[in-house]
Amino acid sequence: MSYLDDAKNFELNETAFHLGFLPTEQSHPATAAMDVEFKNSTSAGVRTLQRVDRDVQKMAEKMFTTPEFTKLCEAIYSTITTGHTVVFSGCGATGRLSILLEAMWRKGCPGYADQVKSIMTGGDYALVKSVESFEDYAVFGARQVRDLGMTPDDLLIAITEGGETSSVLGTVKEHTSKGGKAFLLFNNPADLLREHLERSREAIDNPAVTVLDLFCGPMALAGSTRMQATTCEQLIASAALETAAARIYGAASPAPFAAGFAALLDALESDNCVEKLAAHIDFEAKIYSAGGRVTYFADEYMLDLFTDTTERSPTFMLPGFRRIDDDTLPEPWAFVRNPLYSSADTIRRALGNRELRCLKWTALDYIAMHAPQKLVDNPPQIGAEDLVKIPVGNEYLPSRYETGHDAAVLFGYNGVPAELEFAAKVQAVDFKHFRNMDAGCGRVPRTRLKVFEHLAVKLQWNTISTGTMVKLGRVRGNWMSHVAISNKKLIDRAIRLISELGKVDYHTACVALFKAAEELPPGSNGAVMYALDNIPD
C-alpha cells in the first residue's frame, strides 16, 4: 500500500480515533503564545504554564463536594476493610499514575499494603518505556484484569485522561462483566464522549460504573494530557485514598483537599519558586544545547521522576531509556538513577517493595487476542528480566558523562538524606556540572500518603521538562512540534497539529503525515516536522 492508501484508510476507517472534538486534545487560549513568552523570559513562560493549573483548582472545588467523590472514598474504605483489593487501571501517563498511587499506599499504609494494586497497560515495563500501540486494544486490558486474578468483590478504579483509551475501557468491561463494580475517572465532558464514541458510551452507561467527570478544559501544552488532566486525576484519586486511610487508621479527617491544593499553587507561583524553576529550565536547556545529558539522582521520589523522564520521550520525540546491554540506541537526554541500590532493588523500592508485574505473553497469546501480526511475529520483550536491565541503580555507567557537557542533579524534597547525597556525589565526580534541586516549595498540608508533596513534584517537573523543550524549539505556539506517531490517537494528534500549524485541512494534513512517514527511513523521528516543511503551497 502507498502512503495515499494508508492516509485514506486512516481518514475513512479509523474515525473512532479522530479525537479533535475533545477539549483535552485542543489548544488552550491562555498558552497560545507560550513559545514566544519563553523566548522573551523564562520566568514569564513558567507563569504562563502555571496559569492553567488553576483550572484544576476550579474542578477540584466542585468535585470534592459531589456524591460521586464521597461514594469513591466509601468504596475504597469498605473494599479494604472487608479484606478485598482496590485496583487502579491506566495507560501511559495514567498507568504510571496508577503505579504511583499503589506505591504511595504501600509506603503509607504498610499494614494493608497488598490491598491496593495497579494495572499498567503493557505491564510494569511501560513505566520506563511506552509499549507501542498497546493502548489501542481493549482485549489487552481485559487480559491484564484476568492475569491479576481480580474477583467481583474487588474494586476497579479506571483512569483515562480522555475517557476513550481502549485498553483502560477494556479493564472496565472485563471486571464489570464478571459482576464487579468500577469507578471511571476522565477529563472530558461525559455527554460529549457519549455522543461521539461508542466505546466510551458503553462504559459511561454501564450501571456497574460510577463516573467522575474531572473536566477542566484544554491542556497547557495542546494534547499533552500528562499535564492538567493527570494532575486532576492524581489529586482526586490520592485524596480518596488518603480519606480512606485516615478512616482505617482512626485518624482525624485530612485537611480540605481543595484548599490544600490552592495553597500548593500559591506556593509554586511565589517569586522564589518561579525563579528557581526558571533557573533550572535554563540550566537544562544549556546542557542539551551543548549536546550534553542530565542524570537525576533520587530515592524517595524516584517514581515521580521516572514518570516525568519517561513521558518526555513520546511527548517530545527524545531518546527513551535503554537497557544496559544495548548500545545500539542513543542515550536518553534525561535519566534518573538511585545511587544507593542496584537497578533491580531500585525499581522494587520505587514500586513500594513489591514484585514486578510484567507481561510474558507469547505469540500464541497474541494470536488468541487477535493482535496485529507484527506482535505475533515479534512479541515485545517487556518481561521483568527486561525491566531490571534498565540501569537506574548504582551500576557503573560511563555513557552518562562521556560528552564532556553532562550534568548530575541531586533531587530531594525539603532536603536530601546524607547517605543519598554522599552516594550521588561519589557517582557524580566525572560529570562536568553538578546541581542540587530541592522541590520543597514552602508549607503544604501533611498527610499519611504525602499527597501534596507528590503533587508538588509532579507540577514542578511538568513545568521544567515542558519549559526546557519550549526553550529548545520543540514547541510551536502551544503545540508539540515533535510528536511520536506510535498509536492511532497520536497519529490523529499529529494530523491536527499539522493542520493547525500548516493552515491546511485535515485531509491535506493526513496525506502529508503518511507521505512523510513513508519517505523517512524506518524508525526515523520527525515525521511531523518533515510534513510541515513539505506541505505544498
Could you tell me the CATH number of the domain that includes residue 120?
Answer: 3.40.50.10490
Question: 423-430: which pairs have CB atoms within 8 A and are 24 or more residues apart?
Answer: 423/297, 423/339, 423/340, 423/394, 424/297, 424/339, 426/339, 427/297, 427/337, 427/339, 427/394, 428/295, 428/297, 430/398, 430/401
Contact indicator for 333, 294 with CB cutoff of 8 Å: yes
Same domain, 12 and 141: no
* pLDDT at residue 144 in the model: 98
Which of 236, 260, 284 terminates a domain? The answer is 260
Eight-class DSSP state of 428: G
Same domain, 103 and 9: no
Q: Flag whether 495 is in a domain.
A: yes
Same domain, 118 and 187: yes
* pLDDT at residue 537 in the model: 67
Q: Flag whether 272 is in a domain.
A: no
Q: Flag whether 434 is in a domain.
A: no
Mean pLDDT computed over every residue of the chain: 93
Closest CA to 121 of 357, 314, 362: 357
Which of 202, 236, 260 terminates a domain? The answer is 260
Same domain, 105 and 181: yes
Same domain, 142 and 15: no
* pLDDT at residue 170 in the model: 98
* pLDDT at residue 1 in the model: 67
Provide the domain count of the chain.
2
Q: Which residues of 312-343 are buried (b: 16+ CB within 10 A; e: fewer)?
A: bbbbbbbbbbbbbeeeeeebbbbbbbbbbbeb
Q: Flag whether 129 is in a domain.
A: yes
- Helix ranges (H only) for 120-189 are 138-148, 166-177
Domain boundaries, position 233: 53-260
- 399 CB neighbour count, 10 Å cutoff: 15
Contact indicator for 148, 173 with CB cutoff of 8 Å: no
Cell triple for residue 335? 535519566
Distance CA 70, CA 78 (A): 12
DSSP run (H or E) holding 296 = strand 294-297
Phi then psi for residue 231, to 5 deg, are: -65, -45
Q: What is the three-class DSSP state of 441?
A: coil
Same domain, 22 and 60: no
Q: Flag whether 467 is in a domain.
A: no
Which of 260, 291, 323 terminates a domain? The answer is 260
Closest CA to 162 of 77, 90, 81: 90
Same domain, 14 and 57: no
Stated pTM of the model: 0.92
Same domain, 149 and 199: yes
DSSP-derived secondary structure for 33-56: THHHHHHH-HHHHHHHHHHTHHHH
Q: Using CB atoms within 10 A of its CB, is residue 523 exposed (0-12), middle (13-18) or buried (19+)?
A: exposed
Closest CA to 7 of 491, 522, 498: 491
Q: Flag whether 520 is in a domain.
A: yes
Closest CA to 336 of 395, 307, 296: 296
Same domain, 67 and 214: yes
Same domain, 226 and 141: yes
Q: Which residues of 365-383 are buried (b: 16+ CB within 10 A; e: fewer)?
A: bbeebebeeebbeebbebb
Eight-class DSSP state of 331: P
Contact indicator for 144, 119 with CB cutoff of 8 Å: yes
Same domain, 14 and 66: no
Distance CA 537, CA 534 (A): 9
Closest CA to 452 of 156, 36, 108: 108
Same domain, 70 and 146: yes
* pLDDT at residue 501 in the model: 81
CA distances from 532 to 18, 316, 318, 484, 510 (A): 20, 16, 19, 14, 11
Contact indicator for 159, 94 with CB cutoff of 8 Å: yes
Distance CA 103, CA 307 (A): 13
* pLDDT at residue 112 in the model: 98
Q: Flag whether 241 is in a domain.
A: yes
Distance CA 264, CA 458 (A): 12
The list of the chain residues with pLDDT below 50 reads none
- Report the amino acid identity of residue 526: G
Q: Flag whether 468 is in a domain.
A: no
